[in-house]
Amino acid sequence: MKRHINIPIFIPHLGCPNSCVFCNQRSISGHGDFDIGSVRGELERAVSTLDSDADVEIAFFGGSFTGIDRGEMIYLLSLAKEYIDSGAARSVRISTRPDYIDGEILDILEKYRVTDIELGLQSMDDRVLALSKRGHTSETARKACRMINERGFGLVGQMMIGLPGSDIASEVATAEEIASLCGGARIYPTVVFDGTELCDMTSSGEYQPLTLDDAVIRSEAALNVFIRAGIPVLRLGLCASDNLSDPEKAVAGANHSAIGELVYGEHYMRVLREYIAENRLSLEGKRVTVCAPVGEVSKVSGQKRKNKLRLTGEYGALDVKVIEDPALGKYGVRIETD
Ligand code: SF4
């Protein structure tokens, strides 16, 4: 099977007239001094290091790609198309806002052979969208998703956890809608960056940043929706490169370098509880062996053995061991007792 390689090109805040309360694209992308003239060299360098048989995707991330200056957008798309035409890349992915999608834009993306579109949906709750100053409604988002699907592009919906006015019910409802409209998802627990309106709202007490525990529980609730619907989650949490390690830039919220691992661990705890309930298992005073899918032992055990400790604390299990079982598929578990 060909190795999938993604070449991410960050296009920060170019042409974006919006002011979402959580956004400081300069801070998030870490590419404050973006030079469009450097993109060709960036692509050349990336492609030159790859095996010739790699499955290469060029991805324009970081801003509102279809909202940037039209000439610059076409220039970037034509660069990417050169690599598609030469066979050096197979696909082009862009990320944008739902209100920057219309028939004409989709014509352009199709012409330049864009294959996948990621939409920053963030929430499908109009109250949350308004409090976050997104500048569009959930209906705009639904319409954009339908148009993209009708034209045959791949569609990924990005959502945020912990936006102003949001709660777990609103986030689960958003995940359910994204699962019904999109072929993939990304989940981003909100991090408060310095210089954003959200940072001011935090200082004034108007906004309460997510605690890590809350972020894990709420992100898991959204993740559970996608897993049950068979929708792949491409990413959970911002990338380490997104200025997360600089405490002067990421000032509050769900900022943990292993947040994805924590959320998947929480999901396995849900799976374990369901397994115990469905099988009416009693673990009280018993030695317990949990069988986990290959490669998933650390997630099933939980960070710092959290899930093992919960099996002891909640169910009275003794001496919990987690081992791999190649017969189990992803998110499958089996519990054996002595
Ligand atoms: S639309 Fe995107 S780039 Fe523009 S302010 Fe909002 S999050 Fe930032």
Please choose, from the candidates 280, 276, 287, 265, the residue with its C-alpha nearest in 3D space to the C-alpha of residue 331.
265
Q: Kindly report, residue by residue over 84-118, the tens digit of the pLDDT.
A: 999 889 999 999 999 999 999 999 999 999 999 99
Share of residues in the chain with pLDDT > 90 (%): 74
Q: What pLDDT does 50 receive? A: 77
Q: Report the length, in residues, of the chain.
A: 338
The residue whose CA has the least distance to atom 1 of ligand 1 is: 18
Q: Which residues contact 223 (CB under 8 A, 6 or more apart)?
A: 175, 187, 233, 236, 263, 264, 267
Q: What pLDDT does 33 receive? A: 64
**Residue 63 CA to ligand 1 centre (angstroms):** 6
Q: What is the mean pLDDT of residues 250-269?
A: 91
Least confident of 62-71, 174-183, 242-251: 242-251
- The answer to whether the predicted template modeling score (pTM) of the entire model surpasses 0.75 is yes
Q: Is the pLDDT of residue 128 over 80?
A: yes
**Residue 158 CA to ligand 1 centre (angstroms):** 13
CB 43 within 8 A of CB 83: yes
Euclidean distance between CA atoms 58 and 63, whole angstroms: 15
Query: Ligand 1: which of 11, 61, 64 to mutate, most ligand atoms within 8 Å of CB?
Result: 64
Q: Is the pLDDT of residue 26 over 60?
A: no
98 lines ligand 1 (CB under 6 A): no
Mean pLDDT over all residues of the chain? 91
Which pLDDT band holds residue 13 (cuts at 50, 70, 90)?
low
Q: What is the mean pLDDT of residues 215-236?
A: 97
Topology, domain 4-257: TIM Barrel (3.20.20)
Q: What pLDDT does 246 receive? A: 73
**Residue 296 CA to ligand 1 centre (angstroms):** 35
Domain positions in the chain: 4-257, 280-337
Q: What is the mean pLDDT of residues 292-302?
A: 97
Q: Is the pLDDT of residue 57 over 70?
A: yes
Q: What is the mean pLDDT of residues 258-273?
A: 96
40 secondary structure, DSSP code:
H
**Residue 133 CA to ligand 1 centre (angstroms):** 10
Q: What pLDDT does 270 receive? A: 98
Which pLDDT band holds residue 240 (cuts at 50, 70, 90)?
low
Most confident of 33-42, 57-66, 191-200, 246-255: 191-200
Euclidean distance between CA atoms 104 and 81, whole angstroms: 18
More confident residue, 54 or 185: 185
Query: Ligand 1: which of 10, 11, 13 to mutate, most ligand atoms within 8 Å of CB?
Result: 13
Least confident of 21-25, 27-31, 126-130, 151-155: 27-31
Euclidean distance between CA atoms 96 and 102, whole angstroms: 12
**Residue 120 CA to ligand 1 centre (angstroms):** 9
Euclidean distance between CA atoms 313 and 275, whole angstroms: 17
**Residue 206 CA to ligand 1 centre (angstroms):** 21
Q: Let me know how many helices (H) and strands (E) the chain has, helices first.
A: 12, 12
136 lines ligand 1 (CB under 6 A): no
**Residue 22 CA to ligand 1 centre (angstroms):** 8
Euclidean distance between CA atoms 221 and 225, whole angstroms: 7
**Residue 21 CA to ligand 1 centre (angstroms):** 9
Q: What pLDDT does 4 receive? A: 84
User: To which residue do tokens 């374990």 refer?
Assistant: 272
**Residue 231 CA to ligand 1 centre (angstroms):** 25
Q: Is the pLDDT of residue 61 over 90?
A: no
Q: Is the pLDDT of residue 28 over 60?
A: no
Q: Is the pLDDT of residue 30 over 60?
A: no
Please choose, from the candidates 122, 170, 124, the residue with its C-alpha nearest in 3D space to the C-alpha of residue 18.
122
Query: Ligand 1: which of 13, 14, 18 to mutate, most ligand atoms within 8 Å of CB?
Result: 18
63 lines ligand 1 (CB under 6 A): yes
Q: What pLDDT does 29 receive? A: 47
Q: What pLDDT does 327 receive? A: 96
67 lines ligand 1 (CB under 6 A): no
Q: What pLDDT does 219 receive? A: 98
19 CA closest ligand 1 atom index: 5
The residue whose CA has the least distance to atom 7 of ligand 1 is: 23
